[in-house]
């Protein structure tokens, strides 16, 4: 089938504003048609067609109309004729050759409008599909931007900033708050929270201490670290992800267009039949030579598959337009058709099924103060912290209308938590390591509470004083409000197998899967593990992958069709479909629209071929003239166009 690309190569979604900005090389952007040679050719060919038709209907001298038509024919026809002749030199006949012969025949017969119209439609379709191939280059560029070009290392008694390419395994990196990790390594000194979401998909920063591993491309948030390099720049985790994306993209060769496959058989047959019509009756049966040459040319003009050429793209354009209004951006006709054949949907967890931000799940007290007091103390102390867990606790307190006190002598303890005074009392807020370092013993009840929270796959934040623990706040990644309904709709449209893939712990994965109703899940996966899971799933059916982060890029590229939610550029570049606003309920709509589109395309193709075949026979044997045949072909084109435009009315899946 013909593959049209309306949203490529690079799409940036600004969800809150609902703005879609495209690069100038995007065929969906008006700048492309002005600044690009192919776009200019299509515009000029269309202008020649319109001006020629207008001049012809104004009853001006025919040479003026033909001059305008000629502009369109030359501009749009040159690349097609060149491609057709190139194939002919290789002893192959394709649709380009048939187009060229048909146009020449139409010009000889004086039907310049038909010749120009056929070329304009054909060149428009081929131009729209050329720009599919820049997506991988932009995706790889976004990945490379993750790692800084230079890093600070300890050499002798000095710290020096050097290019990352010159750093060897075993050297010591120094990382300050706000700096991005340049190379994979192991922490040998210091403690800090590291945002690892680009690599592991984890939304909550992970506390790092001596002996812990850090990855290139991750962000040091709060503390000072010294890291011993374990991998050079060409062997880091992010470099491996780049390689995986390249390999996965390269292994997915574009499907050969159905029209081209059809042309391999159709074109030679039509040409041979035309030659036979022109020569056999005059030579074998003494028929008038000029009559049968005329019929052969008529046959070639009628054979030009105008309706067939537009039957597929008009349906795809209509479906893509309808999907865009619903917030679903298909990057091409191939993606649109594939979505309807899905048998399995694989979901990333963090940022896809979940919100990607920590949310307070429950506040526990140990009987010394109330749960509300535990939350109020924690939120008051956390006000001056920038840690995502702190922000979630403060947000929960504001949600409940609590009045917070201003903390005094606020001190951040990297990798552990914070401490501050409220009035005269010193409070500690943080993890278990903080309380152990302060020599604050946890009671058996407190130990049991921590075990319960961790068993649920949640993160405990402890609140206490020098006298002991007052309570704890359990946080976890919040589930999207529409996630459960979205999965129900997918099952309703016939997708029985739904699988969740995550780099998170098994306990967390199990809890999230149970909450949204997914029975299959895989946990503690690195990017290469997700890729392997997708490849295994593809052995049993057509697989769609839904993700939002850079760590999902290899799996997105390897799936039969990939869907991006959220605003991570690499996911948007690698994925075939972008869900604007990240509403997962639009996935079922995309599947349903795809199935309708394929059905309409099949209807159009069958109708075009049947009509074409009928009038080829009638025109060849002189039952209809050229004007009637062209009118029939134009009528068929209008009918398949109208049928394709019905897709604009495709509605979202409802109960």
**In the prediction, which pLDDT does 133 show?**
39
Location of structure tokens 């019905």: 646
Domain boundary among 182, 205, 235: 235
In degrees, to the nearest 5, what angle opens at C-alpha 398 toward C-alphas 396 and 401? 115
Give the up-direction half-sphere exposure of residue 342: CA atoms within 13 A in the CB hemisphere: 34
How many folded domains does the chain comprise? Answer: 2
The CATH number linked to 195 is 2.70.150.10
Q: What pLDDT, on the 0 to 100 scale, is given for residue 239?
A: 77
Catalytic-residue membership of 260:
no
Note whether residue 635 is domain-resident. Answer: no
Q: What's the helix, strand, coil split of the chain in %, to 5?
A: 55, 20, 25
- Residue 637, token pair as written in the block: 């084109």
**Interatomic CA distance for residues 303 and 100, integer angstroms:** 12
Per the domain annotation, does 516 fall within a domain? Answer: no
Instruction: Decide: 26 and 38 in contact? Cβ < 8 Å.
Output: no
HSE-CB for 185 with a 13 A CA cutoff: 31
Distance of alpha carbon 307 from alpha carbon 637, whole angstroms: 4
What value, to the nearest 5°, has the Cα angle with vertex 478 and ends 473 and 481? Answer: 140
- Domain harbouring 367, CATH code: 3.40.1110.10
Is position 295 within any domain?
Answer: no
Q: How far apart are CA 92 and CA 631, in angstroms?
A: 31
Cα 299 off chain centre by: 44
140 occurs within a structural domain: no
Q: Flag whether 121 is in a domain.
A: no
CB atoms within 10 A of CB 149: 11
Taking 50 as the pLDDT cut, the residues of the chain under it are 1-25, 27-28, 129, 131-137, 139, 244, 248-256, 569, 655
Which structure tokens are listed for 343? 């048998």
How remote is the C-alpha of 420 from its chain's centroid? 46
Helix (H) or strand (E) holding 142: helix 135-144
What is the C-alpha separation between 440 and 464, in angstroms, rounded? 9
Which among 26, 111, 348, 569 is annotated as catalytic? 348
Tokens linked to 579: 């869900």
> Omega into 9 within 30° of 0, i.e. cis?
yes
> Is the sign of the CA dihedral 527, 532, 535, 539 positive or negative?
negative
Q: What is the largest CA-CA distance in the chain?
A: 118
CA 111, CA 425: separation in Å to the nearest integer? 94
Q: Take residue 5 and report the two structure tokens written for it.
A: 């690309």
Domain boundary among 235, 262, 284: 235
Q: Tokens 């009756």 correspond to what residue?
A: 281
Give the β-pairing of 520-522 and 354-365: unpaired
What span, in angstroms and rounded, lies between the C-alpha atoms of 459 and 436? 17
Domain boundary residue, one of 451, 478, 505: 478
For residue 81, which of 61, 102, 109, 57 has the smallest C-alpha distance?
A: 102
Q: Please return the burial class of 161, using the count of CB atoms within 10 Å of its CB with bins 0-12, 13-18 and 19+.
A: exposed
Angle at 409 between CA 408 and CA 413, to 5 degrees: 125
Instruction: For residue 62, count other CB atoms closer than 10 A to its CB.
Output: 12
Are 245 and 251 in contact by the 8 Å Cβ rule? The answer is: no
The structure tokens listed for 253 are 């060769």
Q: How far apart are CA 355 and CA 479, in angstroms?
A: 6
User: pLDDT digits over 332-369, tens only?
Assistant: 777 888 898 999 999 988 878 888 788 899 999 988 89
Rounded to 10°, the helix 62-89/95-108 angle is 150
Phi and psi torsions of 145, nearest 5°: -70, -10
Are the C-beta atoms of residues 207 and 388 closer than 8 Å to each other? no
The region, left, alpha or beta by phi > 0 then psi within -120 to 50, assigned to residue 160 is beta
> Which residue(s) pair with 501 in the sheet?
348, 522
DSSP assigned state of 233? G
Residue 442, domain member (yes or no) = yes
Pick the closest to residue 91 from 242, 229, 267 (CA basis): 267
pLDDT digits (tens, 9 = 90+) for 603-639: 888 888 888 788 878 876 777 766 566 667 667 776 7
Tokens of 58: 């104004």
Judge whether 133 lies within some domain: no
At a CB cut-off of 8 Å and minimum separation 6, what does 599 contact?
A: none
pLDDT at 424: 87
Angle 594-598-602 from CA coordinates, rounded to 5°: 170
Residue 576 maps to a domain: no
Whether 588 contacts 653, CB under 8 Å:
yes
Residue 383's alpha-carbon distances to 191, 311, 388, 406, 418, in angstroms, are: 22, 61, 11, 8, 11
Q: Strand, helix or coil at 420? A: strand
**Cα–Cα distance measured from residue 601 to residue 485, given in angstroms and rounded to the nearest whole number:** 30
Provide the pLDDT for residue 107. Answer: 83
Q: Are 640 and 607 in contact (CB under 8 A)?
A: yes
Domain interval for residue 460? 356-478
Q: What SS3 class is residue 462?
A: strand
């Amino acid at each position: 089938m013909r593959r049209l690309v309306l949203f490529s190569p690079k799409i940036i979604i600004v969800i809150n504003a609902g703005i879609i900005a495209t690069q100038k090389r995007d065929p969906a952007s008006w700048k492309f048609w002005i600044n690009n040679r192919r776009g200019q050719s299509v515009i000029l060919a269309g202008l020649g067609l319109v001006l020629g038709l207008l001049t012809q209907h104004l009853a001006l001298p025919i040479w003026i109309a033909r001059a305008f038509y000629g502009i369109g024919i030359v501009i749009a026809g040159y690349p097609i004729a060149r491609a057709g002749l190139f194939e002919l030199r290789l002893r192959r006949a394709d649709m380009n050759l048939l187009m060229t012969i048909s146009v020449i025949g139409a010009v000889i017969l004086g039907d310049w409008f038909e010749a120009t119209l056929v070329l304009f439609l054909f060149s428009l379709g081929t131009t729209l599909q050329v720009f599919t191939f820049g997506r991988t280059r932009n995706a790889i560029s976004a990945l490379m931007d993750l790692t800084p070009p230079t890093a600070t290392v300890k050499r002798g008694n000095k710290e020096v900033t050097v290019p990352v390419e010159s750093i060897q395994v075993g050297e010591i990196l120094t990382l300050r708050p706000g700096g991005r990790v340049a190379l994979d390594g192991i922490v040998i000194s210091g403690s800090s929270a590291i945002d690892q979401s680009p690599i592991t998909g984890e939304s909550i920063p992970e506390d790092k201490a001596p002996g812990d591993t850090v990855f290139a491309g991750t962000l040091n948030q709060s503390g000072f670290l010294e890291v011993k390099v374990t991998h050079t720049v060409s062997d880091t985790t992010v470099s491996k992800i780049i390689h995986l994306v390249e390999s996965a993209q390269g292994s997915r060769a574009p499907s050969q267009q159905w029209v081209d496959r059809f042309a391999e058989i159709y074109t030679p047959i039509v040409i041979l039949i035309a030659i036979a019509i022109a020569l056999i009756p005059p030579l074998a049966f003494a028929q008038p030579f000029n009559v049968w040459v005329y019929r052969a040319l008529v046959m070639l003009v009628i054979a030009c598959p105008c309706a067939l050429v537009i039957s597929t793209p008009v349906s795809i354009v209509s479906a893509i337009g309808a999907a865009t209004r619903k917030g679903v951006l298909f990057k091409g006709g191939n993606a649109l058709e594939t979505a309807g054949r899905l048998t399995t949907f694989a979901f990333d967890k963090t940022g896809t099924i979940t919100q990607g931000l920590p949310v307070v799940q429950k506040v526990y007290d140990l009987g010394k103060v109330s749960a509300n007091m535990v939350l109020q103390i924690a939120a008051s102390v956390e006000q001056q912290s920038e840690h995502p867990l702190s922000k979630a606790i403060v947000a929960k307190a504001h949600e409940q209308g609590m009045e917070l006190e201003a903390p005094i002598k606020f001190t951040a303890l990297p990798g552990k938590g914070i401490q501050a005074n409220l009035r005269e009392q010193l409070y500690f807020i943080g993890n278990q390591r903080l309380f152990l370092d302060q020599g604050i013993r946890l009671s058996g009840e407190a130990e049991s509470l921590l075990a319960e929270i961790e068993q649920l796959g949640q993160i405990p934040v402890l609140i206490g004083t020098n006298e002991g623990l007052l309570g704890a706040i359990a946080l976890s990644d919040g589930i999207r409000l529409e996630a459960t309904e979205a999965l129900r709709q997918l099952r309703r449209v016939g997708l029985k197998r739904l699988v969740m893939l995550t780099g998170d712990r098994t306990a967390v994965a199990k809890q999230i899967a149970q909450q949204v109703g997914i029975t299959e899940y895989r946990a503690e996966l690195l990017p290469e593990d997700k890729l392997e899971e997708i490849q295994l799933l593809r052995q049993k059916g057509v697989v769609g992958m839904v993700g939002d982060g850079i760590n999902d890029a290899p799996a997105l590229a390897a799936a039969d069709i990939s869907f991006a939610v959220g605003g991570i550029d690499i996911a948007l570049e690698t994925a075939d479909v972008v869900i604007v606003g990240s509403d997962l309920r639009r996935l079922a709509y995309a599947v349903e629209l795809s199935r309708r589109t394929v059905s309409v395309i099949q209807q159009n193709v069958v109708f075009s071929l049947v009509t074409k075949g009928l009038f080829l026979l009638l025109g060849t044997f002189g039952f209809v003239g050229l004007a009637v045949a062209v009118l029939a072909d134009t009528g068929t084109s209008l009918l398949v166009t109208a049928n394709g435009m019905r897709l604009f009315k495709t509605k979202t899946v409802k109960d």
